[in-house]
Amino acid sequence: MGYQWNGQEIAADEEGYLTDLSQWNPELALLIAEDEKVNMTDDHWEVVNFLREYYDEYQIAPAIRVLTKALKKKLGEEKSTNKYLYDLFPYGPAKQACKIAGLPKPTGCV
């Protein structure tokens, strides 16, 4: 599976995670989000950008439990609950948001 973006074929694995993380860009993110039936708002971007920063620092896509804890520290209680995140990404915040962020599937996500 892959994505057609800007006349290029962007490779992805069978679940839709990008093969080469360096090919990610915000427009491609919108395309992946469309496939996931997620309508990207500022709130979605906040989570996606946070995941990219986390990956940049730790070279790992955090499990949901770790994501909520880290988000709480950064954005506060309201924007870090499971409910808030599942409202944004109904098929699993860590899985879906990581895919849109161009990151691998989270480690510790079975």
Under rule CB under 8 A, residue 59 binds other proteins? yes
2 or 108: CB nearest other proteins: 108
Where would I find the H helices in the chain?
26-35, 42-58, 64-75, 82-88, 93-100
Question: What is the Cα–Cα distance from 10 to 54, expressed in whole angstroms?
Answer: 23
41 or 59: CB nearest other proteins: 59
Under rule CB under 8 A, residue 74 binds other proteins? no
Short-list 35, 38, 47, 36, CA closest to 84: 47
Encoded amino acid at 22, one letter:
S
Under rule CB under 8 A, residue 60 binds other proteins? yes
Catalytic machinery residues: 109
User: Residues interacting with other proteins, by CB under 8 A?
Assistant: 57-60, 62-63, 65-66, 69-70, 107-108, 110
